[in-house]
Structure 1
């Protein structure tokens, strides 16, 4: 018999699992939802002082130890949202008893890192950064406020604030009402105390259940693995499986029947397995550019590369802004990726200075400093005597698309064109950026007469395609000047996958359009 131990996320208790637990029991399994101290039962009402992550790990350990060791039981730990942190902590200490850990729309907890780092709320992460407690003492806090923070609470969301913590897509109104009514304050100590792991949990098989309505998908994870992030390499282990659910962050409330089926299949070892990275072959993003373009002189200025046309008078410049996040230790860095250098050379062939830069978008929290890097690079380019400072285009790719917001909101007079290729144009729900300025779909209202050239791929990941449609709807409402170049059979990052006439034509058309708007004499 399989015994599921269900661990809820922030602000919530055992009540969120009621229907899923009943369905698991009806299917012949056992289901035990864990009452986390301070979030469930009397302590939720009487106070949360002294409650930290270790308290919740102890709650999960108690649920494991309460099961009959003599019975032939397979224990599956299910951690939703924040709940994956105490679940992983407990599995590390009972690795021989736990058969599988299910990450239900949750992150990948790491040793020494508090749950705060995984919260989908950047302002909150910034507020409490450096206040993590280590072995009961304040770590990194110079103001003496860490103990106070650890003993405090995070108030539960109001009814209309739940999307700040994850998409509520699919949750019935009555269920959202109940979720709000029963929500409890989250003890800050549970978020600030670093998780301590021995490594024993690494031997336990895992399953990730990704809720696509919240911004996650198997295709996206596979793409991130392909970029070479060391933290994600373990996900290609055959003991790791994945499922998708077409819903928001609360599948136990929006689709309990489908969630039950997925949990039962996960317990049986089913699910999608990622393609392992072939260490003997270059990753897709390092494959050749889909067009044959001539080499041109290249100059390196710090983190900025200039690909120079054959011209004596000042020329327009096209600044190419890569996507991300890209791991900080990725080598080569993006400005040496064949696709980006290919675009820059194509621009130079057409008479413009092609510019590629490395910016510091290494994590979802890095958008502010990546935006500063792009702004600094643009100023460096405009100051170059070989560049016509009044004829500049900016071209954004993929996750770099959010960086377009600043330029759309208040376009400078010298910005002749803004281009975006398979961009993300609104933060995904689980990115924690909804309250920040990095939302092109909102910023486009300030674009005025600035021309926008958008390359849209027909086989885009649905969660990204939704942000493009949101942008186009907003652009239409405000009368923005947007030209859409469709690539019906194109995937995200299609230039790195293969070469087709359709894809070549789309790249050439986009470049011709951008160069015409910046005013060079020729176009490729």
Structure 2
């Protein structure tokens, strides 16, 4: 017999699992929704010393009282922290850990990263002393704030109101005390249940693994499986039947496996969709300049296109993005048409690194504009994938020398589960002050749903402020189509986008 121990996220309690627990019990499986100390109807039990360790011991008591042959621990959002802590101390009792729209915290990590407000995180992390009697509790989100903690897709107004009404303060120590793990928990089978409306998908997991990021290689372990649910961050409220069924299947060892090895090159290392003659290439620090053949003979400087990769890309990944065939292809292509193509490696190694990546791009642009072979008054910025967020600063306050911003299959607003991204990186907001700056947006027909939503949000905002946006569609195109879709439609889209960007530079 398999028993399910269900652990809720921040500000909630066992009540959130009621419908899921009922379905599991109807299927014959014992289900134990847990209300942690200080949460749900146990708010009175918390105090200033309530922390993550308190919640881990709460779970240990539940595990020790459970006599089922197999125990599956299910952690939602913050709940995965005490789940992992308890599993690490009772590994012999745990058959599987389920991450329900939850991350993969490691030894030493703090759940504070889940708090969507950077100012609140900073205040909690650097608090010098209590300001009042409630210093040790974080107030729950108001009705309108829940969407900042995760996508509310699938929740009716009544259910969302109940979520807000029943929410309780979260003890600060549960978020600031680091999680401590040994290697025991790493040997346990795991299942990730990804909520696509909250920005997670199996395709994204496979893309991260394909990049060669060592942090994600553990996801190729055959003991790790995945499921997707087409809903927001609170699936136990929006899709309780599907959640119960998925948990049963996870306990049975079902689910999608991510291949440890692929039979072909990763998508980002496949050839560029066009054969481009080789042009001169110079490397200056993290920046590469792809130069026109006749630049030395020219009596005037040339415009430049700065290509901005996405990520996050782990610093140990090789080759680095500026050497990926797609970016080299673009750099060489525009060089062949008389402009300077610029590729660079910025330091977007983690979702918290957007600020640092933005500084790298600004530094690269300054370097390029200062080069005597470049016309510093004619520069375009071209962002790809999650690099799309890095266009926000330039859209918000375009300098006069920035003649165009381009974006290919971009992410144009932080995905709902990207809590660490500074709110400044929202092109869908920044476009309101872009004026008549030309924007060339290449959109792929087969885009991932969670990304397509951000593009539509951006286009709706652009239409309201009458922004100058040209949309180039790629029929049957995929995310990263330049090295995946070697079709006439894909080549035509690249040619049209390049012609458009260079046209804006030459006006």
> Which category describes the TM-score, using the shorter chain as reference length?
over 0.9
Cα offset, 1:305, TM superposition: 1.1
Q: Work out whether residues 382 and 389 of structure 1, in 8 Å CA contact, stay in contact via their aligned partners in 2.
A: yes
Q: Under a length normalisation based on structure 1, what TM-score does the superposition of the two structures give? A: 0.92
With over 3 angstroms needed to count, the CA separation of the structure-2 counterparts of 1:124 and 1:497, relative to structure 1, is farther
Matches within 5 A, 1:236-275: 236-275=220-259
User: What's the CA shift string for 1:92-138, capped at 9, x where partnerless?
Assistant: 11111110110000000101112223444444444445x5xxxxxxx
What are the Cα deviations for residues 411-435 of structure 1, in whole angstroms up to 9, with x where unaligned? 1111111110000011111112677
- Pair 1:227-2:211 in alignment: yes
Give the conservation status (yes or no) of the 8 Å contact 2:354–2:422: no
CA distance in 2, matches of 1:446, 1:491: 30
460-469 or 406-415: bigger deviation = 406-415
Q: 383-392 or 471-480, which moves further after superposition?
A: 471-480
Picking from 286, 298, 314, the partner of 2:269 is 286
After TM superposition, give the deviation of residue 481 of structure 1 in Å: 1.2
Taking structure 2 as the reference length, the TM-score comes to: 0.95
Q: Deviations over 1:182-211 (max 9, x none)?
A: 211111111111111111111211110111
| Secondary structure of 2:393's aligned partner | helix
The one of 56, 74, 94 aligned to 1:98: 94
Partner of 2:57: 58
RMSD of Structure 2 on Structure 1 (CA) = 2.0
Q: CA deviation at 1:268?
A: 1.1
Distance 1:265 1:100, change over 3 A: same
For 2:269 and 2:155, locate their aligned partners in 1 and report how far apart those are by CA, in whole Å: 41
Superposed, which structure 2 residues align to 1:506-521 within 5 Å? 506-519=493-506
Q: List runs of 5+ in structure 1 lacking aligned partners.
A: 132-142
Distance across 2 between alignment mates of 1:439 and 1:433:
13
Give, in whole Å, the separation in 1 of the partners of 2:225 and 2:16.
Answer: 24
Q: Are residues 294 and 123 of structure 1, via their aligned partners in 2, closer, same or farther at CA, if it must alter by over 3 Å?
A: farther
- Indicate if the aligned counterparts of 1:117 and 1:125 stay in contact, CA closer than 8 A: yes
Matches within 5 A, 1:372-383: 372-383=359-370
1:479 aligns with 2:451: no
Tell me whether 324-333 or 82-91 shows the greater mean CA deviation: 324-333
Gaps of 5+ in 2: none
Matches of 1:355 and 1:506, distance apart in 2: 20
Residues in 2 aligned to 1:410 and 1:240: alpha-carbon distance in whole angstroms: 45
Q: Secondary structure at the match of 2:4?
A: strand
SS at match of 1:426: coil
Spell out structure 1 runs of 4+ moving beyond 6 A. 146-151
Tell me the SS of whatever aligns to 2:476.
Answer: coil
Rounded Cα–Cα distance in structure 1 between residues aligned with 2:44 and 2:133 = 19
Deviations 1:366-405 (A, max 9, x none): 1111111111111111111101111111100000000111
State the partner residue of 1:30: 30
Partner of 1:416: 403
* CA 124–337 in structure 1, closer or farther in 2 if over 3 Å, else same: farther
* Whole-angstrom distance in 1 between the partners of 2:142 and 2:439: 38
Partner of 1:173: 157
- Asked if 2 retains the 8 angstrom alpha-carbon contact of 1:149 and 1:189, the reply is no
- Following superposition, the deviation at residue 41 of structure 1 comes to 3.6
Which residue of the partner structure matches residue 8 of structure 2? 8
Aligned equivalent of 2:351: 364
**Are 1:296 and 2:295 matched, yes or no?**
no
Query: What aligned pairs does 1:205-224 form with structure 2 within 5 A after superposition?
Result: 205-224=189-208
Assess, with a 3 A threshold, how the Cα gap between structure 1 residues 231 and 435 changes in structure 2: closer, same or farther. Answer: closer
Alignment of 1:195 with 2:179, yes or no, is: yes
Report if the CA contact (8 A) 1:398-1:423 is conserved.
yes
Report the more deviating stretch, 351-360 or 441-450: 441-450
Whether contact under 8 Å (2:150, 2:417) holds in the other structure is: yes
